[in-house]
């Protein structure tokens, strides 16, 4: 009987220990959105992966990363089968099942222009774009200031990746795209550093958030996680992590 009681107690301790570990684990859904999240190799990489890893560590959580297509990621959050996600825009239907952790950690979408070094003087005004053909990704979104200007000539290609390669080979005048994506692609593809980023910038406001499922076992941690994000923003840590990730490989 003593041995049976001892075995039961040991089993209970093991179960309690396993439950305790589970209680401090956040399941993070990871779509393939480089440079924010890159799931091509494991362990996953990306700006958001580094930010969420630092956030979890500061708040005392472990992370379980789950790769998924974005629609499935949202469904897992809605069902409570996943806990946390990054880079989420506010929409009424999502607010039903998501806690938006504040503050937003992305507040602007910037669009920048790259050219081949020495091809032209610095582009500081929109009017300087008028004589050029600007290569864009077909179907991509751009701020109205750029997309609605009839004087700007655009040349669509299927992917921004191809546009950068064409610019490197001097088969394009200039390329425009979202700043983080363009900086990321140039840092990886432009190994001879023949491209330069122009001073001209197009910008529009955006609020992208880290979110927590309302069905998460850690839903009570909303205030703690929000406070940690605020501290990381105020200290400049998040901005620094974004920039450090995009530095060209040496």
Note the pLDDT of residue 248: 64
Q: Which of 154, 129, 127, 123 is nearest to 140 (CA)?
A: 154
CA–chain centroid gap for 240, Å, is: 14
Beta-bridge partner residues of 133: 153
CA–chain centroid gap for 149, Å, is: 29
pTM of the model: 0.80
What's the Cα-to-Cα distance from 209 to each of 31, 98, 101, 200, 230, rounded to whole Å?
15, 11, 6, 27, 12
Note the pLDDT of residue 119: 80
| Ordered mean pLDDT values, 10 residues apiece, the chain (250 residues) | 45 44 83 92 95 98 96 97 96 97 95 92 95 94 94 95 95 94 92 96 95 97 98 96 78
Q: Are 61 and 174 in contact (CB under 8 A)?
A: no
Note the pLDDT of residue 7: 44
Note the pLDDT of residue 23: 66
Q: What are the backbone angles phi and psi of residue 121, rounded to the nearest 5°?
A: -75, 170
Note the pLDDT of residue 8: 42
DSSP 128-165: GGTTSEEEEETT----HHHHT-TT-EEEEES-HHHHHH
Cis upstream peptide for 35 (omega within 30°): yes
């Amino acid at each position: 009987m003593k041995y049976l009681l001892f075995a039961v107690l040991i089993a209970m301790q093991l179960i309690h220990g396993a439950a305790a570990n589970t209680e401090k684990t956040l399941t993070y859904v990871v779509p393939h959105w480089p440079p924010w999240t890159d799931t091509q190799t494991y362990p996953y990489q990306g700006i958001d992966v580094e930010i969420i890893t630092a956030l979890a560590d500061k708040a005392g959580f472990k992370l379980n990363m789950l790769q998924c297509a974005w629609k499935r990621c949202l469904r897992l959050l809605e069902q409570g089968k996943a806990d946390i996600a990054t880079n989420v825009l506010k929409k009424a239907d999502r607010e039903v099942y998501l806690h938006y952790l504040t503050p937003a950690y992305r507040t602007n979408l910037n669009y920048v222009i790259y050219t081949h070094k020495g091809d032209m003087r610095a582009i500081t005004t929109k009017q300087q774009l008028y004589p050029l053909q600007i290569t864009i990704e077909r179907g991509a979104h751009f701020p109205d200031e750029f997309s609605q200007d009839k004087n700007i000539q655009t040349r669509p290609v299927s992917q921004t990746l191809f546009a950068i390669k064409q610019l490197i080979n001097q088969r394009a005048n200039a390329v425009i795209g979202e700043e983080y994506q363009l900086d990321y692609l140039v840092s990886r593809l432009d190994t001879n550093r023949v491209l330069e980023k122009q001073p001209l910038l197009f910008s529009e406001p955006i609020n992208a958030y880290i979110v927590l499922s309302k069905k998460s076992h850690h839903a009570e941690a909303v205030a703690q996680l929000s406070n940690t994000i605020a501290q990381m923003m105020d200290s400049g840590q998040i901005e620094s992590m974004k920039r450090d990730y995009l530095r060209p490989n040496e």
